Structure 1
């Protein structure tokens, strides 16, 4: 713990940096969304190309065609995301809404089926809030697809930033 404690300032600085990035992301959610989607497309294209190269290098394998086709599909999907990031953002936002709805229903079922006492209310509340978030995103779709992905990234950066900053401050005070 001593080595970590002596580096408390780095945790604090990292946390503050993430908070700053989160605020920048919040300042323009549209640009944040497009940048995130575009980067995803680049990563998908790179992974697809790498998959194709590995398939060609292992062309004597019985799985050559499966590897090649999957690499081509992955690269093609990456290209589509790069060429049309707005469409990709709309698809991703719809997927997020559906995933939140499904997760909310699952959490609600866990809560309602639980034999635990007062604690089950947290599962029920979590399920209802998650479902409402999914419904809110779904009812605003496709217009909100211009900012939902950016909002999720901005919130994540802020939460992580505050967590690291508070961890650094806690390390400092325990010296």
Structure 2
């Protein structure tokens, strides 16, 4: 595809991104380094990810509590307040006991993987008449197996599984940014 085929606004955005290709590479290298550190110390990466989730839940809980008091006249005030308090308490526990929280999050991850893989399998089986349905089926089966492997190792694997996922994500995001940066440079 040449520049002639692209709308003017898109060409400008690509040109602007091209001029900053080095930033893509630099941030990518930084993410790869963080990913490698997370691989090196998966326990610290697990605890860090629990703290991030806990921070988000604590902030969300406080925001919901404030929102509930702004909506005092609404008939669902108590539900809003209770929801906010539960979020805030869950966020507090992430800081109070990050090991227990990592166990709960790991179990939720296993359940989510099994459920999502199961849905993919069902969807793939419904798409048998179409081409490439087997890839979706294979992906669903692999996702179910990943969830089962995590569930079978639970709660012992809770100390490292979240950190491993974080390490993998940081590393792949880093390499993707590096590749994007060098592609923009050309």
Moved more, 41-50 or 134-143: 41-50
Match of 1:43 in 2: 56
Q: Write the distance in 1 (CA, Å) between the matches of 2:15 and 2:84.
A: 47
Match of 1:148 in 2: 161
Match of 1:104 in 2: 117
**Shift in Å, 1:70:** 1.6
Unaligned runs of 5+ residues in structure 2 are: 1-13
Moved more, 94-103 or 111-120: 111-120
1:56 pairs with 60, 69, 72, which one? 69
RMSD: 1.6
Q: SS in structure 1 opposite 2:167?
A: helix
1:93-148 deviation per Cα after TM superposition (whole angstroms, max 9, x unaligned): 11111111111222222222323455122012111111111111111111001011
2:170 pairs with 147, 157, 161, which one? 157
**Shift in Å, 1:81:** 1.9
Q: Write the distance in 1 (CA, Å) between the matches of 2:30 and 2:50.
A: 22
Q: SS in structure 2 opposite 1:62?
A: coil
Equivalent residues in 2 for 1:93-132 (5 A)? 93-116=106-129, 119-132=132-145
Q: Write the distance in 1 (CA, Å) between the matches of 2:91 and 2:31.
A: 27
Q: Write the distance in 2 (CA, Å) between the matches of 1:8 and 1:109.
A: 42
1:14 pairs with 17, 27, 31, which one? 27
Unaligned runs of 5+ residues in structure 1 are: none
TM-score of the superposed pair, with normalisation by structure 2: 0.86
- 2:78 aligned with 1:77: no
Q: Write the distance in 1 (CA, Å) between the matches of 2:64 and 2:131.
A: 50
1:25 pairs with 25, 32, 38, which one? 38
2:105 pairs with 92, 101, 105, which one? 92
TM-score of the superposed pair, with normalisation by structure 1: 0.91
